[in-house]
Amino acid sequence: MPSETATPAPHLHDLTRPALGALLADWGFGAYHRDLLWTGLYRQRAESLDTVEGLRPDLRTALTERTRLEPLVAPHHESFSSDGLTHKLLLRLRDGQTIETVLMRFKGRATVCISTQAGCAMGCVFCATGQMGLARHLTPGEIVGQVLHVTRILDASGESLRNIVLMGMGEPLHNYEHTLAAVDILVDALGLAIGPRFITLSTVGVVPGIRRLADEERPVQLAVSLHGATDAERAALVPAGRRWPLDELMDACRYYIARRGRRIFFEWTLIEGRNDTAEHAHTLGRLLGGMDAHVNVIPLNPTVGYDGGPSTAPAVRAFQDVLTTYGVPSTVRQRRGIDIDAGCGQLKAEVERRTRRSLPIAP
């Protein structure tokens, strides 16, 4: 009889290939069996051990008795943008928490935006997820499960997934171990084989996490959410800015660029009148000038809990023009699927509001 304190059976989608190999090696099965199981999990996208082809019966029995392989995410609510290109999913975890995953199809290339936490502890004032607070970290399997879920959707229409952005709910570097284990699973060449440079990890600026990432061999793309270029202005939007001030953050970013030899993307959500004037652009230009940096400006997607609005198109252009004078390149990123609440945390917030008021949920 297993005791109540016994470690629960591991979920197979929580394990990197080396970790799976170590588990199987303990039972006397070598790399051949590990890789057969791995390709079953990630190439065949098996949802049960019964459908993994070629497993030795004694291994199948051991796995059935000592591991788990149930789906970790299940559809709870979904909606499509009016152009049909953005498919927003609210997925339910096994404990009832819900998280957002957004599948975007653009010019034959699919991108998925995934969550790393249920909620977020960082409290950025304009962000629907920040307005909820943190419920819990996601496990590696729950992070990978979102990708498997959309991969099955794409499989059905013969499409494939190219980009993954860790820009859904949560702060990836606040859930460092699980997020990076998930990245290792996603890039594994025998499995989903997503190119590491097609994975973008976006952080609010968790300095110890950026430094740690700089020292590791995980060639993902790093994006840092800035939104303010002085400590006072940034902290008003991003409370985490008080914990990790800009001088520490920029030092960590320079360290990352030097160690990894990679540019960093800086995200700047443009909020009318708050951080979108020429003066703001000059301050940002001075902060980033001379660095290997690229700025993504994103007009605010308004949320119920915040009274700011998006910058106008001329203000966005003027902001970019100032950055250009400092030699800082920038791109405007529209938050796609605004008509279906496809901003971070917004679908969950809307579904919960409507459920509370027993209103129908918009398609």
Nearer to ligand SF4, 37 or 132 (CB): 132
344 is catalytic: yes
Q: CB of 102: closest distance to ligand SAH in angstroms?
A: 11
Nearer to ligand SAH, 58 or 339 (CB): 339
**Residue 291 vs residues 164, 216, 266, 295, 347: alpha-carbon distances, Å:** 25, 21, 11, 11, 36
Q: Is 275 in the site for ligand SAH (CB under 6 A)?
A: no
- Catalytic member of 142, 171, 344, 350: 344
Q: Is 226 in the site for ligand SF4 (CB under 6 A)?
A: no
Q: For ligand SAH, which stretch binds (CB under 6 A), given 8-16, 35-43, 65-73, 296-304? A: 296-304
The residue type found at 158 is G
233 is catalytic: no
Binding mask 145-174 for ligand SF4 (x = CB under 6 A): -------------------------xx---
Cα 108-112-115 angle, rounded to 5 deg:
175
Contact in structure between 122 and 240 (CB atoms under 8 Å): yes
Cα 81-83-89 angle, rounded to 5 deg:
25
Q: Is 343 in the site for ligand SAH (CB under 6 A)?
A: yes
Q: CB of 194: closest distance to ligand SAH in angstroms?
A: 18
Residues in the chain, total: 363
Q: Is 135 in the site for ligand SF4 (CB under 6 A)?
A: no
Q: Is 124 in the site for ligand SF4 (CB under 6 A)?
A: yes
Q: CB of 13: closest distance to ligand SF4 in angstroms?
A: 23
**DSSP assignment of 273-286:** TTS-SHHHHHHHHH
Contacts of 228 (CB under 8 A, 6+ apart): 234, 235, 236, 237, 238, 241, 275
- Catalytic member of 100, 171, 267, 350: 100
**DSSP assignment of 82-136:** TTS-EEEEEEEETTS-EEEEEEEEETTEEEEE--SEEE-SS--TT-HHHHH-EEE
Q: 252-271: which residues touch ligand SAH (CB under 6 A)?
A: 267, 269
Q: Is 303 in the site for ligand SAH (CB under 6 A)?
A: yes
Nearer to ligand SAH, 23 or 90 (CB): 90
Q: For ligand SF4, which stretch binds (CB under 6 A), given 116-124, 211-219, 257-265, 278-286? A: 116-124
Q: CB burial class (10 A; 0-12, 13-18, 19+) of residue 234?
A: buried
Gap between the Cα atoms of 91 and 96, Å rounded: 9
Q: CB of 127: closest distance to ligand SAH in angstroms?
A: 4
Contact in structure between 147 and 115 (CB atoms under 8 Å): no
335 binds, among ligand SAH, ligand SF4, none (CB under 5 to 8 A by kind): ligand SAH
Q: Is 41 in the site for ligand SAH (CB under 6 A)?
A: no
CA end-to-end span of the chain: 49
111 binds, among ligand SAH, ligand SF4, none (CB under 5 to 8 A by kind): none
Name the phi and psi angles at 338, rounded to 5. Answer: -60, -30
Q: Is 127 in the site for ligand SF4 (CB under 6 A)?
A: yes
Which residue from 24, 135, 148, 204 is in contact with ligand SF4, where contact means CB under 6 A?
Answer: 204
Q: List the 330-332 sheet strands across, edge first.
A: 73-80, 86-93, 98-106, 109-113, 161-166, 199-203, 221-225, 264-270, 293-299, 330-332
Which residue from 29, 126, 244, 319 is in contact with ligand SAH, where contact means CB under 6 A?
Answer: 126
227: phi > 0 → left, psi -120 to 50 → alpha, else beta; which? left
Contacts with ligand SF4: how many residues (CB under 6 A)?
12
Q: CB of 175: closest distance to ligand SAH in angstroms?
A: 10
**DSSP assignment of 291-334:** SSEEEEEEE----TT----BPPHHHHHHHHHHHHHTT--EEE--
What amino acid positions are annotated as catalytic residues?
A: 100, 344
Give residues in contact with ligand SF4 (CB under 6 A). 120, 122-124, 127, 129-130, 170-171, 204, 225, 344
Give residues in contact with ligand SAH (CB under 6 A). 124, 126-127, 167, 171, 202-204, 225, 267, 269, 298, 300-301, 303, 335, 343-344
